[in-house]
Structures are given as C-alpha cells and as structure tokens.
C-alpha cells in the first residue's frame, strides 16, 4: 500500500515515514505544497497523512484539493492544535466526501503512529461509500439601490468604528475591545441594525464593509499597541462572509500587510448565522482558526445551536446573549440559563463573555456565576478611538 505523508516539519515526516516503512508501507513524503501536489498527481496514493498547519497553506486547502480531484483513498489528519480543531477539520473533510480514518495529535509517539496506521488499514480494507458532498452554500442576491448607498458611504469616509471595552470579570482589566460600526449621516448617527441587513443583500457590499471593519480594527490595534495598551480587537463578521472561500486568506493578507499578528483580531459570528449552513461555515471558520484568529460565537442562547454543532465548530469564546443578562436579576430562568452556558463554556474550554452588562449588581452576579469577561454600558458605551484611550 502507498502512503503519502505531508507535513512542513521534516522531522515529523521522517518519523512517520520510518514507522510506516517498518510496518510494510511504501512511503512518499512532501514538506511543501507543490511537492505534495506533484507526488499526488504522479499516482494517487492509497492513504495520505496530512498535517493541518502547513506554513503558507493549510490542511483544509489540501482536503479541498483532494475533493476537487475526487480522491477516494483514506486520510489521517495530524495537528499540534487542540482536539476541537482536529474534530472540526475531520468534520470538514467528511462533509467534502473524504474518508478520514483517524486524527492524530502532535507530538505523537511511535506507538500512536502505529495505531493510526492500523486505523488507516482497517478503513481502507472496508472501503465504505464516501458520505454525500455538502450542498453548495445558499446565496441571496438583491440588486436594490440601498447597498450601493452603503458602499458609497464606506468609500466616502462616512463610516466610523466605535470601540467598547471588554473587561476581565475578576480584576476588571481590559482584555479586549469590540469594534461596532457607526454611520455618520445627515448630521446624525445610524446604528448598524438599521443598515447591516441591507448591506448583506449585496455580497460585494458586505465584503467591502467587513474588509473596512477589519482594517479599522487593525488600525485601532496598532494605535493601542503604540501606547503600550495592545489588546485583541473583536470584529463582527457577517454570515455572508462565510460563503467566500477566499475570506480567511484575504483577512490574513490584510493583517500581514499591516504587520500585525493574527491574535490582534478576533472575529465574532452570530449563533444563528454560524448554524445556518454548518458545512460551509465550518470550512471557513476552521481555516480562520488555523491561521491564528480567535473566534467568538455571538448572541449565544437564541439561535438554536445544537450542542453537537457547537462541539464541531472551532470557537474560542461564547458571548452570552444580552437578553439573558437583562433578566438576570429578575428571572431565575435567565440565571439558570447563564449558569448552564458558563458550565458548557467551561467544559468545552471556551471563554465566556457576557454582553449588555449595565449595572454593578449585574456585573457582581455574573462574576459570581463564573463568567470570565464582561462588556456593557456599566463599564463603557462604545466610543470613538480618541475617547476610548481616555478611559
Ligand atoms: P452585537 O454584536 O450583539 O453588539 C452588541 C450591541 O449591544 C451593540 O449595539 C452595543 O452598542 C450594544 N450594547 C453594548 N452594551 C450594552 C448595554 O449595556 N446595554 C444595551 N442596551 N446595549 C448595549 P450596536 O452597536 O447597535 O450593534 C448592533 C449589532 O450590529 C451588533 O450586535 C452586530 O451584530 C452588528 N454590527 C455592529 N458592527 C458591525 C460590523 O462592523 N459588521 C457587522 N457585520 N455587524 C456589525
Ligand atoms: Ca458582537
């Protein structure tokens, strides 16, 4: 049986190749994407062991490559990331119709590599039908004139990002800042709820808006860093952005050009959006996570997320919906729901964040419940950059 091993770390490649060779496999190796694709094209291997982090590229791109080439062999995934990232990547692979026989956390000992090779052999011997390919993401398109007005406002400098601090529940130090878009129009401020849904009617416009928001967030990060106050800036992204396969590369390139690390920017996705098209969202979100971006599931508790879906998605934070926080003092139900979300976040290794905290008593109760981070008018309203640094 032919095995192709692809990892950008030559030492791992050598170790896996040695162990597989001893187990009777005929092994080929690659440490760069071009090499991997050439070896693959030269003769489809029976099995592939694929690392998820590959320097300039990533394992999800290679799974998509294998999908495009109708690969019917067996794949084992390797990663130094935590098990949830591996599980998310496994889910993406399966939704593309790729047979994922095993996942292997790195660093791996020889015994574990042998066990993974045995799992590959077992799956290869059974040759089950691959799972059906996920349907393409649904797209909505509306050529209404109003998105054009938003595009013009973005180009014309009418938009501004305001910033709201997120504080650690324990010490109250600022541990992040959320960017919230504002539209200065006819001498007044237009709130995002009034125009984001309209921008979303046109994919190009919502893409332009998100790029603008990320760029403004990066600028805020650099200015804070220059003052010795660097904290991650959280940017809201739209569900429409999760339809674009290039989105992770575009965001990463934008940060690279600005010379800021990917942990400078976190991305918030509303729960309902993330759950709407699990397959498509998982591809984009997993690639973003592999590129080093933190991801938050926003407005959690209202979008009917299945727990299984939450387990498969590579989020790093859960933002508890404001509606529960609003009723915390008056409703035992809201109290119980927040408590279970905090427990859920704890057991999944996610950071819990409460939004809409508007009083000292609410902040105290949330801290008592174990919520990690707090955000709301009690600490600060969203502010223009210059006023943010005055706080
Ligand atoms: P969100 O992400 O859930 O943002 C939280 C909203 O709650 C913000 O409203 C914020 O100003 C408000 N808020 C914060 N603390 C409190 C509080 O203590 N009490 C009350 N009553 N409200 C509080 P905002 O700025 O109007 O944003 C509304 C929504 O618009 C956001 O909800 C987000 O989903 C969306 N949005 C904002 N900026 C962007 C953006 O740049 N891109 C995209 N795609 N969506 C954005
Ligand atoms: Ca948000």
With pLDDT > 70 as the criterion, what percentage of the chain qualifies?
93
Ligand at shortest distance from the CA of 234? 2
Supply the residue whose CA is at minimum distance from atom 8 of ligand 1: 180
Residue of higher predicted confidence among 91 and 59: 59
pLDDT recorded at residue 239: 86
**pLDDT grade, residue 207 (50/70/90)?**
very high
The mean pLDDT value for 175-187 works out to: 93
Average pLDDT over residues 205-221: 96
Phi, psi (5° rounding) for residue 356? 75, 30
- Contact between 374 and 363 (Cβ < 8 Å): yes
**Contact call for residues 172 and 376 (beta carbons, < 8 A):** no
Per the listing, tokens 């859960």 go with 318
Ligand 1: list residues with CB < 6 Å. 164, 180-181, 191-193, 196, 213, 236-238, 268, 298-299, 355-358, 376-377, 382
Q: Is the peptide bond before 107 cis (omega within 30 degrees of 0)?
A: yes
Alpha carbon distance 20, 14 (integer Å): 10
Alpha-carbon distance 174 to 178, whole Å?
11
Residue 132, pLDDT score: 42
Q: What is the rounded CA–CA span in Å between residue 122 and residue 220?
A: 52
- State residue 309's pLDDT score: 67
**pLDDT tens-place string over residues 309-329:** 677 789 999 999 999 999 999
Instruction: Report the C-alpha gap between 222 and 106 in whole angstroms.
Output: 33
Cα–Cα distance measured from residue 196 to residue 238, given in angstroms and rounded to the nearest whole number: 9
State the pLDDT at residue 135: 36
Task: For residue 173, give every residue at least 6 positions away whose Cβ sits within 8 Å of its Cβ, in sequence order, or none.
Answer: 167
Q: Whose CA is nearest to atom 19 of ligand 1?
A: 356
The residue among 293, 349, 312 whose CA lies nearest residue 90 is: 312
- Report pLDDT for 136: 36
Q: Inform me whether the pLDDT recorded for 191 exceeds 90.
A: no
- Average pLDDT value for residue range 58-62: 93
In DSSP terms, which residues pair with 53 in a beta bridge?
Answer: 58
Give the separation between CA 103 and CA 75, rounded to whole angstroms.
9
Q: What is the pLDDT of residue 304?
A: 63
359 or 307, greater pLDDT? 359
Task: Tell me the C-alpha distance between 328 and 308, whole Å.
Answer: 27
Distance CA(217)–CA(201), nearest Å, equals 24
What mean pLDDT comes out for the span 20-49? 92
pLDDT-based confidence at 14, cuts 50/70/90? very high
Strand partners, 102: 76
pLDDT, one tens digit per residue, over 128-158 is 544 444 333 333 333 344 799 999 999 999 9
For residue 274, pLDDT beyond 80: no
Cβ of 202: how many Cβ atoms within 10 Å? 22
Average pLDDT over residues 219-241: 94
Please give the distance, rounded to the nearest whole angstrom, from the Cα atom of residue 131 to the centre of ligand 2: 35
Q: Mean pLDDT score of the chain, rounded to an integer? A: 89
DSSP string, 46-88: SEEEEESEETTEEHHHHHHHHHHTT--SEEEEEESS-HHHHHH
pLDDT value of position 137? 34
More confident of the two residues 126 and 71: 71
Detail the DSSP E strand segments found in the chain.
Answer: 2-6, 26-30, 47-51, 53-54, 57-58, 74-79, 99-105, 159-168, 174-185, 188-190, 233-237, 265-270, 294-300, 317-320, 351-354, 373-374
Give DSSP secondary structure letters for 333-387: HHHHHHHHHHHHHHHHT-EEEE----SHHHHHHHHHHT-SEE-STTT---B-HHH
Token pair 């509303």 is found at: 270
Is residue 51 scored above 80 in pLDDT? yes
Atom of ligand 1 nearest to the CA of 241: 44
pLDDT digit string (tens) for 97-129?
899 999 999 988 999 999 999 999 988 887 654
180 alpha carbon – ligand 2 mean position (Å): 8
- Whether the Cβ atoms of residue 235 and residue 294 lie closer than 8 Å to each other: no
Q: How far apart are CA 309 and CA 275, in angstroms?
A: 7
pLDDT of 228 reads 93
Q: How many A from CA of 37 to the centre of ligand 1?
A: 44
Q: Kindly report which listed range (60-64, 275-279, 371-375) carries the lowest average pLDDT score.
A: 275-279
Among 150, 201, 220, 236, which is best to mutate for testing ligand 1, by the most ligand atoms less than 8 A from CB?
Answer: 236
Whether residue 212 contacts residue 182, with contact meaning beta carbons closer than 8 Å, is answered with no
pLDDT given for residue 391 in this prediction = 67
Q: What is the pLDDT of residue 125?
A: 83
Q: Whose CA is nearest to atom 11 of ligand 1?
A: 382
Residue 379 has pLDDT above 60, yes or no: yes
Q: For residue 150, give Cα distances in angstroms to 100, 112, 190, 192.
A: 44, 54, 11, 11
Q: Looking at the predicted structure, is the pLDDT value of residue 280 above 90?
A: no
Confidence band for 308, pLDDT divided at 50, 70 and 90: low
């Amino acid at each position: 049986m032919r095995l192709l091993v692809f990892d950008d770390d030559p030492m791992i490649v050598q170790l896996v190749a040695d162990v597989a060779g001893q187990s009777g496999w005929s092994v080929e190796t690659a440490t760069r994407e071009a090499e991997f694709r050439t070896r693959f094209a030269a003769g489809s291997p029976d099995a592939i062991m694929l690392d998820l982090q590959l320097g300039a590229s990533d394992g999800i791109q290679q799974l998509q490559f294998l999908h495009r080439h109708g690969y019917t062999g067996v794949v084992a995934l390797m990663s130094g990331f935590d098990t949830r990232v591996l599980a998310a990547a496994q889910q993406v692979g399966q939704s593309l119709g790729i047979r994922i026989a095993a996942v292997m956390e790195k660093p791996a000992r020889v015994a574990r590599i042998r066990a993974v090779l045995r799992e590959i052999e077992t799956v290869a011997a059974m040759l089950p039908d691959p799972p059906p390919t996920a349907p393409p993401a649904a797209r909505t398109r509306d050529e209404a004139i109003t998105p054009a007005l938003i595009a013009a406002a973005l180009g014309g400098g009418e938009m501004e990002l305001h910033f709201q601090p997120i504080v650690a529940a324990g010490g109250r130090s600022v541990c992040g800042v959320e960017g919230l878009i504002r539209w200065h129009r006819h001498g007044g401020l237009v709130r995002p709820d009034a125009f984001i849904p309209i921008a979303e009617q046109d994919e190009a416009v919502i893409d332009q808006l998100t790029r603008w928001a990320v760029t403004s967030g990066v600028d805020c990060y650099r200015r804070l860093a220059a003052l010795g106050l660097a904290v991650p800036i959280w940017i809201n992204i739209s569900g429409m952005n999760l339809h674009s396969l290039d989105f992770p590369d575009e965001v990463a390139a934008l940060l690279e050009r600005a010379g800021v690390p990917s942990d400078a920017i976190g991305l918030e996705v509303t729960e309902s959006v993330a759950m709407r098209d699990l397959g498509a969202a998982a591809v984009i979100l997993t690639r973003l996570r592999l590129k080093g971006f933190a991801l938050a599931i926003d407005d959690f508790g209202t979008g009917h997320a299945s727990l299984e879906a939450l387990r498969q998605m590579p989020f790093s934070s859960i933002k508890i919906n404001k509606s529960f926080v609003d009723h915390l003092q008056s409703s035992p139900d809201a109290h119980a729901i927040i408590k279970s979300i905090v427990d859920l976040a704890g057991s999944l290794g996610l950071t819990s964040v409460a939004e809409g905290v508007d009083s000292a008593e609410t902040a105290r109760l949330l801290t008592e419940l174990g919520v990690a981070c707090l955000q709301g008018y009690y600490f600060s309203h969203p502010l223009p950059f210059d006023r943010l640094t005055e706080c």
